[in-house]
Amino acid sequence: MPGYLDFVPQQRFQPTLALSPDGELVAYSSHVSGHYDLWVVPVAGGQPRRVAGFDDRTVRQIAWTPCGERLVFTADENGDEQFRLYLVALDGSGLTEVSSGPDCQRVLATSPFDPTGRLLAYTANDRDPAAQDLIVHDLQTGGLRRFTPPEGVAFEAVSLSPDGRRLLATGFRSNTDIAIYLTDLSDPDAKPVCLTSALGEGVFEPGVWAADASGFHLLTDHWSEFTAAAFYDLAARSLQAIARPSWDVEVLDAAAGVRIWSVNEGGSSRLHADRDDSPLPLPAIPPGVITALSLAPDASFAIILINSAARPAEIAVVDLARHEFRYLTDTRPPALHVIDPIAPELITYPARGGRDVHALLYRPDGPGPHPVLLSIHGGPESQERPIYARSGLYQHLLHQGIAILAPNFAGSTGYGTAHQKLIYRDWGGIDLDDLDHAVKHLYVLDWTDPSRLAVMGASYGGFAALSCLARLPYPWAAGVSICGPSNLLTLAKASPPTWKTFVATVLGDPDTRAEHLLQRSPVTHADNITTPLFVLQGAHDPRVPQAESDQIVARLRERGVQVRYDIYPDEGHGFTNRANELTAYEAISAFLHTHLIATTADHPEPLHVS
């Protein structure tokens, strides 16, 4: 039987692509060398080339200078999310740090340069750890022009206009309250102006400018619960819809009269395009999830990063001129050349209040009865989607005969704003009830064995996994928490300063809701946990500090509960070092096999309830 490493993709990517100004090269971040480095590959096909990288830093964001001779990128150390800015020539020479001052969160604009390449736009909290300022950096003089945000707003630079006159930015309060700010750089006394204040609260995320700088494209939920594609006309100060499907538009690009966008239809991505407002036929693409998209300057092709349950993430070309689809990379591991990967079934199950919860259900080959892993996504404002999950861990577990149920419970994105907001200030409430109903659904399936049931999650998913073990009365066989919060009160108090408004809105203000946060914390109910638990944690995690895992591990070990605790001293929130990631997932696979497969003799008959 193939081992876990046989299912591991040859490389993984950060969710960023940058197409060179001449449309000939794609820049991306890959950890094929062991760390996420900066690479380029010809669009026409050919050998990828490493441009820059570090032994202890992860390349996150990438952009080309307008002349196409250099690239700018951000990188952080061991996952600490303290990003620094670098410039490097295409041939790898002249690597220079652009940023100065202390470590902080520097976020590169998506289109960060003016037409001359002299001005570079980004965001940083170097002045005040609790404030994300807009910064326009003059690379010739070294001067910085700084714009500070209003109280409770976190700025993020998005793009400089094609004429270099204006800077677009978002003002973030929560994942469902994002405004657009515009700064006129030609005015020496300019201040960022909110363009969307008259449109009310909602999601307004600006994207690519019109070539003549007359306006810009954006994504917004202004008209419904779902995110539409739109265009904002600066002269008319009007918002014009481009596409308003009954699902979320996720990525959008435009060039040379062509617009192309991806729609999240029940978790899978569907590409659409138009030319001068008329629908444009596209070649068929494999079913999967598109996480990055870039349209060529002449609109003859688009580059996408696409991931599916049957094939790991790949860089691919959608050729609009030849009506063809082709991969630029091949990351398939050895196991996929000898077995057929298993795609999930899209299901719904009933929940409280007459709601239906969408979920992905993976059924192994064979009649069963199969043990089941309840896999809980992070966020919680995220979505379980049909991808090659966790570096092949899903497919390896399926090959061992372990079924997987991955629900999109209350708080998940992709099913409308109302569903997303259900979890606000209610962590461990309606979401846990949805997970309870997920387990109840397993009991009515004739091919599952809920007496062999495990739960796993990372980040918020780790919190939810611990909550399941502590608060849902099922015969859990095992649990896995990857950087999962165990105490919502200490988590809220330790959150990064720039997250203060977000934490109060989504999780709850620790100064006014301390009792509620403690009541919903897994550590408060830790005495109910008797199940073997595997906890993994990065020592440099800035989002979920190590103290969160320390608390639950200490409480359980005091009572003699079996706990394995692996701390990664060179990781932050999740894994950036490939060796660490493979070690972790291989260990998780072995842990789940021990408690779900090796214990089969202890459960000769499946347990079902009506």
3-state helix, strand, coil in the chain (%, to 5): 20, 35, 45
Sheet strands side by side (includes 289-295): 289-295, 301-307, 314-319, 324-327
pLDDT of 601 reads 44
Distance CA(90)–CA(177), nearest Å, equals 38
Q: Is 311 exposed, middle or buried (0-12, 13-18, 19+ CB in 10 A)?
A: buried
pLDDT of 608 reads 35
Which domains does the chain carry? 342-602 (3.40.50.1820)
Distance CA(388)–CA(404), nearest Å, equals 13
Distance CA(448)–CA(363), nearest Å, equals 9
Q: Is 354 helix (H, G, I), strand (E, B) or coil?
A: helix
- Stated pTM of the model: 0.86
HEC assignment per residue over 410-421 = CCCCCCCHHHHH
Q: What is the full DSSP assignment across 266-315? A: TTEEEEEEEETTEE-------SSEEEEEEE-TTSSEEEEEEE-SSS--EE
Q: What is the full DSSP assignment across 219-263? A: EE-SSSSSPEEEEEETTTTEEEEEE--SSEEEEEEEETTEEEEEE
Residue pair 322/302 in contact by the 8 Å Cβ criterion: no
Give φ, ψ of 384 to 5 degrees: -75, 125
pLDDT of 606 reads 35
Helix (H) or strand (E) holding 134: strand 133-138
Q: Which long-range contacts (CB under 8 A, 24 or more apart) does 338-342 make?
A: 338/2, 339/2, 339/399, 341/309, 341/310, 341/311, 341/388, 341/395, 342/309, 342/395, 342/398
pLDDT of 607 reads 34
In the beta sheet, which residues pair with residue 227?
none
The token duo for 395 is: 């497919």
pLDDT of 600 reads 54
Q: Is 546 helix (H, G, I), strand (E, B) or coil?
A: helix
The token duo for 434 is: 């949805």
Residue pair 491/515 in contact by the 8 Å Cβ criterion: no
Q: Is 395 helix (H, G, I), strand (E, B) or coil?
A: helix
Residue pair 475/143 in contact by the 8 Å Cβ criterion: no
The token duo for 59 is: 């390349």
Distance CA(109)–CA(102), nearest Å, equals 20
The token duo for 322 is: 């030849």
Residue pair 556/563 in contact by the 8 Å Cβ criterion: yes
Nearest Cα to 315, choosing from 578, 6, 48, 62?
48
Nearest Cα to 521, choosing from 544, 548, 560, 558?
548
pLDDT of 561 reads 96
**Sequence-distant (≥ 6) Cβ neighbours of residue 527 within 8 angstroms:** 555, 559
Distance CA(217)–CA(57), nearest Å, equals 33
pLDDT of 409 reads 97
pLDDT of 599 reads 65
Residue pair 296/289 in contact by the 8 Å Cβ criterion: no
Distance CA(143)–CA(347), nearest Å, equals 55
Residue pair 506/172 in contact by the 8 Å Cβ criterion: no
User: Rg of the chain's alpha carbons, rounded to an integer?
Assistant: 24
Number of C-beta neighbours around residue 310 at 10 A: 17
Q: Which long-range contacts (CB under 8 A, 24 or more apart) does 492-498 make?
A: 492/517, 494/545, 494/547, 495/543, 496/105, 496/129, 496/542, 496/543, 497/125, 497/128, 497/129, 497/130, 498/105, 498/125, 498/129, 498/130, 498/131, 498/132, 498/154
Residues of the chain with pLDDT below 50 are 601-610
Nearest Cα to 26, choosing from 40, 13, 47, 12?
40
